[in-house]
Structure 1
Amino acid sequence: MNYKINLLLTTFLMADFFCLAQSNDMVIEDFEPSYINQPGHEYPMVNSQGRVRTKIFAPDAKYVKLDIGGVKYDMVKDEEGMWTGVSDPQDIGFHYYQLNIDGASVPDPGAMLFFGACRWGSGIEIPSNDQVIFAVKNVPHGHVHEIRFPSKSSQKTLRAFVYTPPGYEKEISKRYPVLYLQHGYCENETSWPNQGHANFIMDNLIAEGKAKPFIVVMAYGMTNEIEFGRLRDFDILPFQSVLVNDLIPYIDSNFRTLANQENRAMAGLSMGGFETRLISLNRTDLFSYLGLFSGGVYRPGDFKEYETLKLVFISCGSKENPEWVKKAVNELKNAGYHAVSYISDGTAHEFHTWRRSLYQFAQLLFK
C-alpha cells in the first residue's frame, strides 16, 4: 500500500514538474508591434518575455527561418503563403536580425534598417525598464550633423556624424570639449546615432544637469576592412592617421571646440574600444579621458608616459567578463589612477550594454 501511494505521489509530482516546465516554455500572447517598425507595419512584434514574432508573405518559398541572436528558428507557412516565426526570449535592448528564405538572408520588410553585422539589415528593440535614458523627451535637443571631411591620409573624402549640444547654434562665443566615440566591428559611423541613440542620451543628461554639454564625433573606424577571424592582424595606423591628421584638425577648424588634450576624450564599443586603447597609448598627447565599452582593459603599466590622464572608464555586460573589468579597475585605482568600472546588469556584448556605458561615462567627463 505504501509503495502504491509513493508511486502515485511521485507520478503526480512528476506531472506537476512537467506542467511547470511546459508553462515556463509557453509563449505569452501579449505581443505588440516593435516601435522601430517601418511605418504602417504591424510585424515584427515583441512580447513581455522578450520573444520576437515576425511574418512574411512568401508563397513560393520552401522554407523560411528567423535568424536572431545566433540562432535560426523555423517559421511556419499557412494556406495563404504567410510564414510566421517566434524566437526564444532575447536580452533587453537592441538586436540585429534577418530572415533566411530558401538559403538567402534578407532583411525583414517590416523592420527599420540598421548597419550592423557588416550589412544593412533589420533591427528589433526588446523593451527594458531603463530605456528612458535614450527616450525622445520634451527637452532641448542638440543636432546631429552629417559631415564630409577631406582625408589626405586615405586620399578620400570621408563621412562622420557630429553631435552638437542644445544651444550650440545660439551661444556663438562658447567653445566645447569633444568626445570621439567609436563603433564596433561590422558597424560604421551610423551605428552610434541610430541604434546607439547617442544624441538622445546626451540631450537627456544635459537637460537633467547630469552631464556637461560637449560635442560628440562619430566616425568610421576602418574596422570592417579586415576579415572576421583575423582581427589580430588589424593595423591601427591607417585609422590613427585619419583621426589624428585629418579628423581632429577638421573638427577643431569647423566647430567651436576647446582644442586641447584636457578637453578631449575618446571611447568606443568592442573593437572601437580596442582602437581607443591602441591610439590613446600611441598618442598620449591627445586625450585626457578614456572609455572602453566591452573593448578590453588598461593596466597600470600602460600609463607610465601619460602625464595628463584624468579618467579611465571600463565597462561590460554582466554576461561578459565583469570580474576581469573589476580587477583591472582595482589595479588602476591601487596605482593611483582615477578609474571607474561599470557593469551593465543582464546584458551581454550588445548595444544596450554600450548605451548604458555611454550614459555613465558621459556624466564623468570634463568636470
Structure 2
Amino acid sequence: MKNLFLVLLLFVISSVGHTQNNDFPAGTKPASTNILGAEYPRVDSLGQVYFRIEAPEATSISVSLGNVPLTKGDDGVWTGVTKPQDPGFHYYTLKINGVDVADPYTETFFGASRIMSGMEIPEAGVDFYDIKNVPHGQVRSVYYWSKSFNEPRHAYVYTPPGYDKDLDKKYPVLYLQHGMGEDRRAWPNQGRTNFILDNLIAEGKAKPMIIVMEDGGIARAFNTPIRDKSGKILPKPERQGPGRRGGPGQGPNFWDEFTETIITDLIPTIDKQFRTLSDRENRAIAGLSLGGTQTYQISQANLDKFASIGVFSAPFGFPGVESGYNGLLAKPDEFNKQVKLFYVSMGSKEGPRSGRAIHETLDNAGINNVYYEAPGTAHEFQTWRKSLYGFAQLLFQKK
C-alpha cells in the first residue's frame, strides 16, 4: 500500500505543469526566480503572486507562501493568488495531496534544513543586489581539510573584480555566516553577496575585499552531531533554546564546534591560498540570526583575530555588558580602541531583542556602535541584504 501511494504521488508530481498561454493576469510578470521559460508563478506590482498548476490527478494543492489553497478548474488546472508579499526573497513549498514538494518551475534553495523553492518579490527603487553592467568578482569553491575534526570542509570565497590581474595586491577579509537551517550556499545564493559587493566596489562605496562563506555547523539544526577533537560524537544534550546551554553534564551547544574550525583551520587556509591582509585590523566577522550568535561567540573568544564585528538579527547570544568580551564591554574606552566597527542591525518587523535593545544597551554603556533597522522587513534576507550593504561600506575604512 505504501509503495502504491508513492507511485501515485510521483505520478501526480510528474504531471505538474504550467499552462503556457498568453492569457496572463494584467500587470504581472514571471518571477525572476522561475526556471528559464516558465511563465508561472507571476508577480504583480503589489507583490501578489499568481500560481497556475496543471495537475489533473491531484486532489488538493496549496502554497505555503501566504498559506494559499489553490482552486481546481474543470480543465484540471489549479489557480490561486496570494496577498501582497513583503519585498525580497522568500522560501516556499507546494503541498500536493498532503505532501510538501518543491515547485518544479522555480529555482530551489537550501533553507529550513531542506531544499525549498524560492520566490523573489521586487522592491521598488531597490537595485543594489541586482546584476549590473559593472566589473564582476568571482565566487570560488574551496575544499580544504579540517585538522580539528579530521574531516573535509567546503567554503565559498568571493574575490573582488581585478583579483587575478594585480598579483601583488592583498585584500582584507570578511568571514560571513549564514543562519539556522542554512549552509554556506545561503549568502551567495539567497543573499546575493557577490552582486552587492560588485556594485558597491564599482560605485566606490566599499573597499575591495575577500568574503569567506563557510558552513557554521547549523544547517541541520538540532540534528547536527557534536564531536570532540578526535571526531567522536558526544552525547546529544537536551536543548534549552537558542543561545542557552543545557544543564550540568549536558554538553555544549551544537553550533560551538565551528569556533575551533574557523580559527584553527579556515583562517589559516584562506591566508595561505589567497592574498590576504592577515592582521586583525583587516579581518572582520559577521553573521545573520544564529550566525550572529556565532559571531558574538567567536569574536569575544578571539578578539585578537577580528577588529570589526557585524551582527544581523541575532536575538540570542549577546554576552551582556558586565562580562562580555572578557570584561571589555564594561571598559568602553578600551573596547572602542580595539574594535573598529561594531555593527548591529535588524528588520523593523522583528522584536527589539533582535537588535534595537542590544544597540540601546551598547549606547548606554558608552560602546561605539552603528545601528541599522531595515524598514518594513522581518527576519528575512531582505533585512540581511540591506545589513550587508550598509556594513560593507563601513568596513576596513580608515578612522
* TM tier, smaller: 0.7 to 0.9
TM-aligned CA distance change 1:333 to 1:141, over 3 Å: same
Q: Do 1:262 and 1:308's aligned partners in 2 also have CA atoms closer than 8 Å?
A: no
Residue 109 (structure 1) aligned to one of 96, 104, 107:
104
Match of 1:329 in 2: 359
Distance 1:275 1:328 in 2: 16
Range 334-343 or range 156-165, more displaced: 334-343
Match of 1:47 in 2: 44
TM-aligned CA distance change 1:312 to 1:31, over 3 Å: same
Matches within 5 A, 1:3-18: none
Q: Do 2:181 and 2:221's aligned partners in 1 also have CA atoms closer than 8 Å?
A: no
Match of 1:318 in 2: 348
Asked whether 1:285 is paired with 2:304, we answer yes
1:227-262 residue CA offsets vs partner (Å, 9 max, x unmatched): 387544533431111111111110000000011211
Deviation at 1:338, TM superposition (A): 2.5
TM-aligned CA distance change 1:67 to 1:236, over 3 Å: closer
Distance 1:240 1:130 in 2: 39
Match of 1:273 in 2: 292
1:119-156 residue CA offsets vs partner (Å, 9 max, x unmatched): 11111111102431111111111110011111122321
1:30-76 residue CA offsets vs partner (Å, 9 max, x unmatched): 221101210010011111221112222221111000112xx421111
Match of 2:156 in 1: 161
Whichever residue aligns with residue 105 of structure 2, its letter is G
Deviation at 1:194, TM superposition (A): 0.6
Match of 1:365 in 2: 395
- TM-score, normalised to structure 2, is 0.81
Distance 1:152 1:83 in 2: 53
Range 334-343 or range 94-103, more displaced: 334-343
Residue 262 (structure 1) aligned to one of 271, 278, 281:
281
Give RMSD over aligned pairs.
1.9
TM-aligned CA distance change 1:185 to 1:327, over 3 Å: closer
Deviation at 1:175, TM superposition (A): 0.8
Deviation at 1:280, TM superposition (A): 1.0
Larger C-alpha radius of gyration, 1 or 2? Answer: 1
Matches within 5 A, 1:31-110: 31-68=28-65, 71-110=66-105
Match of 1:10 in 2: none
Deviation at 1:323, TM superposition (A): 7.8
Q: Do 1:66 and 1:86's aligned partners in 2 also have CA atoms closer than 8 Å?
A: no
Deviation at 1:109, TM superposition (A): 1.1
Distance 1:337 1:173 in 2: 37
Distance 2:265 2:94 in 1: 39
Distance 1:98 1:235 in 2: 27
Which consecutive segments of 4 or more residues in structure 1 shift more than 6 A?
none
Q: Do 1:236 and 1:279's aligned partners in 2 also have CA atoms closer than 8 Å?
A: no
TM-aligned CA distance change 1:316 to 1:298, over 3 Å: farther
Matches within 5 A, 1:341-352: 341-352=371-382
Whichever residue aligns with residue 27 of structure 2, its letter is D
Match of 2:230 in 1: none
Match of 1:211 in 2: 206
Distance 2:287 2:53 in 1: 36
Distance 1:334 1:209 in 2: 34
Matches within 5 A, 1:197-236: 197-227=192-222, 230-231=241-242, 232-233=244-245, 234-236=253-255
Runs of 5+ unmatched residues, structure 1? 1-27
Whichever residue aligns with residue 67 of structure 1, its letter is S
Matches within 5 A, 1:135-154: 135-154=130-149
Distance 1:92 1:298 in 2: 32
Distance 1:323 1:248 in 2: 30
Whichever residue aligns with residue 35 of structure 1, its letter is S
Deviation at 1:299, TM superposition (A): 4.2
Asked whether 1:177 is paired with 2:196, we answer no
Asked whether 1:338 is paired with 2:368, we answer yes
Runs of 5+ unmatched residues, structure 2? 1-24, 224-238, 246-252, 329-334
Q: Which has the higher helix share?
A: 1
Range 218-227 or range 354-363, more displaced: 218-227
Whichever residue aligns with residue 394 of structure 2, its letter is L
Match of 2:313 in 1: 294
Q: Do 2:314 and 2:354's aligned partners in 1 also have CA atoms closer than 8 Å?
A: no
Distance 1:324 1:220 in 2: 22
Whichever residue aligns with residue 200 of structure 1, its letter is F
Range 209-218 or range 130-139, more displaced: 130-139
Deviation at 1:324, TM superposition (A): 6.7
- TM-score, normalised to structure 1, is 0.87
Deviation at 1:293, TM superposition (A): 0.5
Distance 1:276 1:60 in 2: 49
Asked whether 1:186 is paired with 2:181, we answer yes
